[in-house]
A and B are shown apart, each in its own frame.
Chain A
Amino acid sequence: MFPANHKTVFVLDHTPQFGSSYDSVVELDMGNKPRGLSMIPLSPIYKSLWTASVEAALEYCRIVWDLFPEKKYVRFVVSDTRGQVLNSWSPGHQNLACIQNQLGLIGVPAPASRSVQSESSIFPGLQAAVDAICQCTDVQHEKRTSLSDNSNKILNRSRVICITTQKDNQSIKNLQDMFIKFVNQSNKKAASSDTLIPINHCHLVILNVTPRNGEPCLVNPVPATDISSTVTSEVHAVLPNGNIAVKLSHLILQHYDLASTTVTGIPMKEEQNASSSANYDVEIFHRSEAHASILKGNAQDTALVRTLREGCEYDTVTLKWCTPRGASASEMHHCTVMHRITPVDVNSRPSSCLINFLLNGRSVMLEMPRKSGGKVLSHMLAAHGGEIFVHTLGTSRSVLEDPPSISEGPGGRVTDYRIPDFGQLMKKNKLLPLKRKRPEGSDSKEDVIMPLDRMRQRLERYTKQWPITISSTSVFNLRPELDPLLNAIVKETISEDEVLQCKQVILSLIAQETRNEPLQPSSSGQRTKGPKRDEQYRQMFAELESLIRSHCRSDQHTAVLNCLLDCRNRADDDPKAKLERKDDKVELDQALRELDQMSASPNPSVNGQRVSVIRATTDSPMSPPAMSGPTLPLSNSRGHSRTSSHSIYSSGPRTVLDFLITTSDSKATRPEFHGLLNSESGPNGSKVAKLYAHLNQDGGKADSSVNEAE
């Protein structure tokens, strides 16, 4: 909690001495092309201490920000006659480009002149650093001003890394004393301020560089020691020649709890000879947690992979590159933790070779050898969105081994799940990253419904009526004919065009029924004796009505429902009218209807399955085809809907479709038999047509007229 690495301030010595002393010699003759033998070699150039310290500090930041894009802040202060702060805690200032630009504007230290020399020191910088730490970062500010209980409990811990040159131990002591004084002063000031935050603890790291061209340096390294109640300090004596960077790369591992991994055996084409390849190593940094699982295990295995890094002061874990087989991106590995990585030597050829390989979308497994022989895949390197991560994989036995198959459990033996349909539903509800940026102002976040929250309602709409097996639905088995309706009805709002499409679907179903076409083209091939044809229609329409009814959330949805109800109403009326004329068959149908009503009435939503069961038990092969009479729930609910939507639709303008429906009378669908048209009324009022009317004329036999109506 509250780590010191949340806030780091680099204090760079910008005094003339740092500009004039040199850190290292850089050869300009790269010497690999001895083309002009008589050439005079170029003289080497010198890199100043200033350049070396800037480079080392920038490298430190590069690693920090590659690994921690958020909440690890670094500020730069340069110190000469005054302390200049180069950037703020604001996240917009926390990047290399910003600091590099500021450094470019600051320029190299002024050349040594007596006046500048005497007035320049590291102290103004330290003062500025302490002041900077008393300012809140955005995270600290948010925590302090939040209304939760522990808001005032945040601790302001920080670290100051000071790169300077002091003469002797006494000067270091003075520096530390001054620093304690600055902290105490600033804390007093912060205590009486609303915006500033007192320093709870500061870790002062002093890198004392021994200049080459000065007097001998008499500073001893001191390990971390508490020099006051708020300040812990350590002193490192650094010789020039690139050692500032070496020292910082060691310290950064402690400061951010990092570890080093060397990926070994990376096959790479030779630069000169593309046909041969050699193996290279690349060192990367990442959070040390990535190693936890392999280092906690067998001590012998640990010793095998962990070695001291050559030329450095820290250990590295060597893992072997494992040439990837095929695309394994879609496979989900068991990954316990993952961390961002950064190459230690960002521009070297092996590094960029590995990096580009990963950035191009391929992943690499890393292998850990075991003392007992054999190896184990312990890590995976993979890039996601331009960032490279090390995934720590589970290497030990899993408690999930040998699991039972899902088909062995409840529901596992059902074979007619609507899996392709649910696949469609999943694709329609595939998540995408909608907005990259949060709305400005964190307060408004409460009011805005996040896209993911909207998904709840959306999925609820999509699944409102969603039978999960094929045998429990008829509507959803009528794809693709019904698709326009099924797709539209689940929407939050539907357009008038879609309403029209839905109505067309309903009309075509009605027409199909009128034509007496089979409802389900039995594609399954197996001839099962299902419910009779008009029973199928009845079930389907009941399910469809229930579906549309459950979605009635807008006028447009209601319009679709009304269309269905209107059609059904007419379709219902028709057989009833027929029935009235067929008095002798009414009784059985009446009984069946009553049975239907009884079975369905406790549950207002018509259960098609249930109805069909009863029908199947009462039907005998001798029974006449069942008439789809109006069932009680249907008429009930219809009445209800009519009253609820009365104001909108009953007196509203009729659509062309409505008109078509009412005019297309089923009685007119087939012309009446010629005989009946020319018949005369019989004694009981029914029409009687004479058959074989001309028979008498031929043979003069007895009348053989048949009373058809009976």
Chain B
Amino acid sequence: MPTIVLLDVSLSMTRPVPGPPGPPGPGQESQESAETFSRLQLAIHGINTLLDYFNLYTKLEFVSLMTYSSICEELCPFTRDFDSIKQKLQSVEDQDKTSIEPALHAVNRLVLKEWGSTTPCHVIIVSDGSCGVTDSSLKHLIDRNTSLHRPPLPFAFPGKLSALIIANPSEPQLTHNLQLFKRLTDLAGGDGAIHTPEGALSISSVQTMVRKMAETEFVSYQGTLRCGCLSSKITLSPHPLPYTHVKDFSTETFTISDNIEVLGFLDLSDIGSPAAVSRHLMLPMGSGVSNHASHTDAKNEDSDDENHDEGKVSSFCVLLHGALKVENMAALCEVADRWFGILYSWADNKKKSNLMLTVLEPGTDPIPWLGDLELLGTVDEGHDDASPLPSFPVRPAEKRSYSQSTVAWIRQAGLHSDIQKILRSARKLPDKTQHFYKELNRVRKAAVQVGFLELLDGLSKIFEKECTALPDKAHPDCALQLTHCASVLREREARELKFTITPLRTSFTSND
């Protein structure tokens, strides 16, 4: 998920880090103590460490850099070019007092503008833990957040908030401040956490803290794609999040399992464009790519070599992608118990295509026109009946009102068009006898159902009038049938639900 690094550039960040307590012993003398750093410099080091981590393990993440003090500034828009962020970091300048609220509002605006309201984003505050004073203080914000017209938290997007606090564990205010930050991350929702360095502030303790955070909060998905006996190690990008499915009678949280199993294949045209909980690139994984691996310092050259070799080791994922693309098909797969997804070949532009996993809503009927997914199978399994093959789409048991002739007379135009339909076919009698009586009986029945009995008399009058207005060339059967209907409509039985008006048998209709 896109990450926003929110760097505190208030004055307090410029405080130099105090040296180790007591005079440095002869053996403890290191390069760090020779040079003093400000908290801001340490924070920048920490962010660089994080970017290095991204560069190694989650190259497809987007990162944006913002700084905040009393004002908030977007230093670097969302990008995968982490070096450009590093360059911007070099030019960060310290500002005035700290104030988190405008920064959070700015984050909301930025994310809504860039990614919309459905993309999960991760916001990381990098601060020395000072909470500000009076109106702009963190406490003030937390206390009145809920009463605000447009509270900055929770975010307007599914987000989580973490904090990297560049502070010495021995600082007196720290415990209090950390509690406030904890409340802030809780308000944001999600499972963000507060991270503090272990031991005294130094480059290495900050780096350790960042690495630890990255390893817990930026875990990349590792799983296996299976199709019968074929399988391939895969990763998903972006990292899949647990999904909470709220229904009328239950709320359940689902997590994608590390075993994604293909259960069959479908034509893309049968699937249409179903609603997706999320979409992920499915990337085949080589042997060595793992962010739990110890070789964090692996050189780029090494990984390149690895890629060269891995490119030549056949992978089921690539085969599946090729076949899906050629056949214009998709694979139905189970991503967790009773939770399904669709795998297909997808191309952002025409050149580079990839395997895409669309995760559907949990449950066995996320796509109405495919029916219950558990009932899908191949034909020769249901070999007993010789009836024609079942096919998509699965139609609902009942037709919707718009796909059948629904009577709607709330607006007078509806009634008028029904009456005119009858009159149009009346003028074409006896050719349209069937149609005329079908329409007439439909209207009569509807009138009885809604208790609109006056309409029957009205129709009767209309028919009589129509009779007198018939042109000379009209068929004689016209007048006969219309007069017949006009008199039947006046009778008592015509007001019964089950009654049907039948055509008058004339010499013109005998051939029916």
Contacts and interface: CB of A to CB of B under 8 A. Distances in A.
Nearest to A335: B273
A417 B322 contact: yes
Contacts of B415: 26
A613 interface: no
A65 B400 CA distance: 8
Contact of A48 (B227, B232, B451): B451
Given A59-B410, A391-B275, A42 B462 contact: yes
Nearest to B284: A410
B377 A452 contact: yes
Contact of B408 (A346, A396, A402, A438): A346
B410 A450 contact: no
Interface in A332-373: 332-338, 340, 342-343, 345-349, 351-352, 355, 359
Given A386-B396, A452-B373, A432 B320 contact: no
A598 interface: no
Nearest to A421: B323
Interface string B268-303: 110111111001010111100000000000000000
Contacts of B139: none
B368 A387 contact: yes
Interface string B458-493: 100110010011000000000000000000000000
Contact of B229 (A336, A403, A463): A463
A459 to B, nearest CB: 4
Interface stretch (B96-104, B186-194, B378-386): B378-386
A103 B450 contact: yes
Interface string A307-345: 000000000000000000000011111111110101101
Interface in B291-350: 307, 310-324, 326-332, 342, 344, 346, 348
Contact of B375 (A59, A337, A435, A462): A435
Contacts of B314: 411, 414, 417, 468-469, 472
A437 to B, nearest CB: 9
B462 A28 contact: yes
A69 interface: yes
Contacts of B272: 329, 332, 382, 384
A346 B279 CA distance: 36
Question: Interface size for chain A: under 10, 10 to 19, 20 to 34, or 35 or more residues?
Answer: 35 or more
Contacts of B328: 330
Nearest to A354: B402
Q: Is the interface of B mostly helix, strand, loop or mixed?
A: mixed
Contacts of B276: 334-336
A338 B274 CA distance: 7
Interface stretch (A423-431, A500-508, A630-638, A662-670): A423-431
Given A100-B449, A139-B249, A433 B390 contact: yes
Contact of B317 (A1, A331, A332, A411): A411
Contacts, number: 417
Contact of B115 (A51, A382, A397, A465): A397
B439 to A, nearest CB: 13
Interface string B243-278: 000101111000000000111111111011111100
Contact of B354 (A48, A380, A403): A403
A464 B401 contact: no
B317 A429 contact: no
Contacts of B156: 296
A598 B395 CA distance: 62
A245 B285 CA distance: 60
Contacts of B60: 399, 403-404
Given A397-B115, A433-B371, A28 B458 contact: yes
A403 B352 contact: yes
A56 interface: yes
Interface string B381-410: 110000001111111101111110011111
A422 interface: yes
B376 interface: yes
A428 B400 CA distance: 34
A51 B450 CA distance: 5
A55 B118 contact: no
B114 A459 contact: no
Interface centre among A54, A105, A331, A426 (most CB of B within 10 A): A426
Given A432-B379, A434-B382, A403 B348 contact: yes
Given A242-B410, A342-B400, A433 B284 contact: no
Given A419-B323, A452-B375, A464-B229, A411 B116 contact: no
B117 interface: yes
Interface string A502-524: 00000000000000000000000
Interface of B: 1-2, 60, 62, 78, 80, 112-119, 156, 227-230, 232, 238, 246, 248-251, 261-269, 271-276, 279, 281, 283-286, 307, 310-324, 326-332, 342, 344, 346, 348, 351-356, 358, 368-379, 381-382, 389-396, 398-403, 406-420, 445-446, 448-455, 457-458, 461-462, 465, 468-469, 497
Q: Lowest 7 CB-CB distances: which A-B pairs, in order?
A: A411-B315, A451-B377, A396-B116, A463-B228, A385-B393, A459-B228, A384-B369
16 contacts: A45-B454, A48-B451, A104-B448, A143-B249, A150-B250, A334-B276, A384-B272, A408-B311, A426-B331, A429-B378, A430-B264, A431-B266, A432-B392, A436-B375, A452-B373, A458-B381
Given A332-B358, A384-B393, 12 more contacts: A19-B451, A30-B420, A385-B393, A386-B396, A397-B78, A397-B115, A411-B317, A426-B331, A432-B379, A434-B377, A434-B390, A469-B314
